[in-house]
Chains A and B, each alone.
Chain A
Amino acid sequence: MAKRNLGHEFIKGLWEEHPNFVMLIGLCPTLAVSTTAMNGLAMGIATTFVIVMSNILISLLRKVIPDEVRLPSYIIVVATFVTIVDLALKAYFPDIYRLLGIFIPLIVVNCIVLGRAEAFASRNGVVASALDGLGMGVGFTWGLVLLSAIRELLAKGAIFGYTVFGEGFHPIQIFGQAPGAFIILGFLVALVNFLNINAKRKRELKKISDRTLAA
């Protein structure tokens, strides 16, 4: 029972409670950073690290931190990890740091990080919180990579910097900019909703047919 629950904590972030496409949180970095697939991947990994670490620490401290000052405490914890990521990226991956720019420090106020701390880590054990953070992080990463890969493909004709289309390709500039991000995100959210609704309908139909067959 416990094991299945732990597995579920990880899995739910990947689809069922996907931060971008189902819960629609953390959209500021999602829209801003997803210009190239590489950017999306880097941002996703950075955010994943922060979510996992802050979830672990907050879960450990959940009994120590008084309820009244929990938000400032969370912010300090999250900001610490974000600053570490910020410095590490600046030191070892200056190119990525230059591209992501202000959006690395802005992970501090990312709804996903604080949301998971508040909604999950402050109420659950360390292992469950770590898995929850990892699931959310991975979900956020794949969402970001998908979105940014589509945008890069349309705006630059490349994925991860490798040219896909030949010389004749004419880039569609708008997808490299903010409106394009909204358009693609809208389509992706619609797609995810469509799949979810379809799956739900099928499940219900199956249930009904099972019942009638049994009768």
Chain B
Amino acid sequence: MKKNSIARMVIVLMAISLVSGAILTLANEKFSPIIKARESDKMRIVAEKLLPEGSQITKVTNYKELKSLVESVRQENGLNAEWKWDPDAKPLESVAKAESKDEPEVDIDWSAWGLEGLDEEEITTPEEETVTEPEVEEFNWADFGIEVDDVSVGPEEEPDTDDYDLEALFAADVDVNTKTTNDTSESSDDYDLDSLFATEVDVSKPEESALGTSDEPAAEKTPAFEIYQAISGGKLVGVAVISKAKGYGGDIVLMLALEGTLERVLGIDVLQQSETAGLGSLITGEKFTSQFTDKAVGNPYEVGKDIQGVAGATISSKGVASALQKALKNLEQFLIDGTVKEGA
């Protein structure tokens, strides 16, 4: 009698599981091609919005191809064939679209820029931290599962390794504890690794758990570094770079679109963020992003210097700034040997 009922339970449960498995397989077969097609289109759609119209947009896989395209466009415009992002370049005036294409060496209207620069400095105070952050050397703490706080000094500044072992062990201990308890609700402090120790594999962003933030895009895997090129009439007319940096509530992923000569910014778009609603989330707003449009590339990209931050959201603004710096550094390195220096 008892045996019988156990057998029945097992059979019923197995039957239900099998049927449900079969149904799900069918559903997956039907839906997954559509989902895949959409996901690969997602980045391209954003790139299309930023890059010049009518151009053919493709993902760059071969750096030599992009390099030769960039070089030819630059030579055509009388520029040095090799492109370098110069953070110390004197800020150039916003270049008008038509002018820049025909004559790259435009007469510069300094006054407008000078004024703007002053305004920005009054509003936000620059701090050194964000600038140094991306320069921390890659050190594979990640292998040990160790999280390092922002405050802790980067390995290059204190070469005494003995001290570090202790600290690392300690940090590891603490982190294991917090990890297990906070498994479902990630706090924003947990992400330091992503920006500091970038690996080539993209780090999937944890799901949002806060109730109120559900109108932000949910966590999705976004590539940490990707380049798209826009070609029109056999010429390179634009390059879009995807870059990621740490913000206040998680990672900020953005796309930076440059002109073919890589001398002018076409625009930026924030692809993913989970900043505070109403404050940090303003970095997605037109008011913030439009300040980059048509600016010269040779800028330091520091909040307070050439970026006017979002009021009350210094960390979010700095996140965007460091993502931009990373984008340009990565692009520079990519054009040299096809690798990514800053990782992430």
By a beta-carbon cutoff of 8 Å, the part of chain A in contact with chain B is 31-33, 35-36, 39, 61, 64-66, 68-69, 72-73, 76-77, 79-80, 83-84, 87-88, 90-92, 94, 97-103, 171, 173, 176-181
Which residues 70-116 in B have Cβ within 8 Å of A in the complex? none
Bound together, the chains give a CA A39 to CA B216 distance in angstroms of 12
Q: Could you name 6 residue pairs across A and B whose Cβ atoms are closer than 8 Å?
A: A35-B215, A73-B12, A77-B16, A87-B35, A173-B278, A180-B212
Bound together, the chains give a CA A35 to CA B218 distance in angstroms of 14
Instruction: Please give the distance in Å from B5's CB to the nearest CB on chain A.
Output: 7
Is B208 touching A102 in the complex (CB atoms < 8 A)?
Answer: yes
State whether the Cβ of B1 lies closer than 8 Å to any Cβ in chain A. no
Partner of B212 from A64, A84, A101, A177 at Cβ < 8 Å: A177
Whose C-beta in chain B lies nearest to the C-beta of A105?
B207
Whose C-beta in chain A lies nearest to the C-beta of B279?
A173
State whether the Cβ of B8 lies closer than 8 Å to any Cβ in chain A. yes
Given A39-B214, A66-B8, 19 additional A-B pairs, CB 8 A: A32-B211, A32-B212, A35-B215, A65-B12, A65-B16, A66-B5, A68-B5, A77-B16, A83-B27, A84-B24, A88-B31, A91-B31, A91-B38, A97-B218, A101-B208, A101-B219, A102-B207, A173-B278, A180-B212
B208 contacts which chain A residues (CB < 8 A)?
101-102
B217 contacts which chain A residues (CB < 8 A)?
98-99, 101
B5 contacts which chain A residues (CB < 8 A)?
66, 68
**Count of B residues near A, CB < 8 Å?**
32
By a beta-carbon cutoff of 8 Å, the part of chain B in contact with chain A is 5, 8-9, 12-13, 16-17, 20, 23-24, 27-28, 31-32, 34-35, 38, 42, 207-208, 210-215, 217-220, 277-278
Whose C-beta in chain B lies nearest to the C-beta of A80?
B20
Bound together, the chains give a CA A90 to CA B213 distance in angstroms of 20
Instruction: Please give the distance in Å from B204's CB to the nearest CB on chain A.
Output: 13
Instruction: Please give the distance in Å from B232's CB to the nearest CB on chain A.
Output: 28
Is A103 touching B31 in the complex (CB atoms < 8 A)?
Answer: no
Bound together, the chains give a CA A7 to CA B12 distance in angstroms of 33
The SS class assigned to the B binding surface is helix
Is B12 touching A66 in the complex (CB atoms < 8 A)?
Answer: yes
Is B13 touching A69 in the complex (CB atoms < 8 A)?
Answer: yes
Instruction: Please give the distance in Å from B193's CB to the nearest CB on chain A.
Output: 22
Is A31 touching B211 in the complex (CB atoms < 8 A)?
Answer: yes
B213 contacts which chain A residues (CB < 8 A)?
177
Is A84 touching B34 in the complex (CB atoms < 8 A)?
Answer: no
Is A181 touching B211 in the complex (CB atoms < 8 A)?
Answer: yes
Bound together, the chains give a CA A76 to CA B20 distance in angstroms of 7
Bound together, the chains give a CA A57 to CA B283 distance in angstroms of 47
Is B9 touching A69 in the complex (CB atoms < 8 A)?
Answer: yes
Q: A102-B207, A176-B278 are in contact. Are A35 and B31 (CB under 8 A)?
A: no
Instruction: Please give the distance in Å from A149's CB to the nearest CB on chain B.
Output: 14
Bound together, the chains give a CA A64 to CA B212 distance in angstroms of 42
Q: A91-B35, A102-B207 are in contact. Are A176 and B9 (CB under 8 A)?
A: no
Whose C-beta in chain A lies nearest to the C-beta of B278?
A173
B13 contacts which chain A residues (CB < 8 A)?
69, 72-73, 76
A94 contacts which chain B residues (CB < 8 A)?
38, 42
Bound together, the chains give a CA A72 to CA B17 distance in angstroms of 10
Is A99 touching B20 in the complex (CB atoms < 8 A)?
Answer: no
Is B214 touching A35 in the complex (CB atoms < 8 A)?
Answer: yes
Bound together, the chains give a CA A97 to CA B212 distance in angstroms of 17
Instruction: Please give the distance in Å from A118's CB to the nearest CB on chain B.
Output: 16
Is B16 touching A73 in the complex (CB atoms < 8 A)?
Answer: yes
Partner of A87 from B28, B207, B211, B218 at Cβ < 8 Å: B28
Bound together, the chains give a CA A99 to CA B215 distance in angstroms of 5
Q: A39-B214, A181-B211 are in contact. Are A66 and B9 (CB under 8 A)?
A: yes
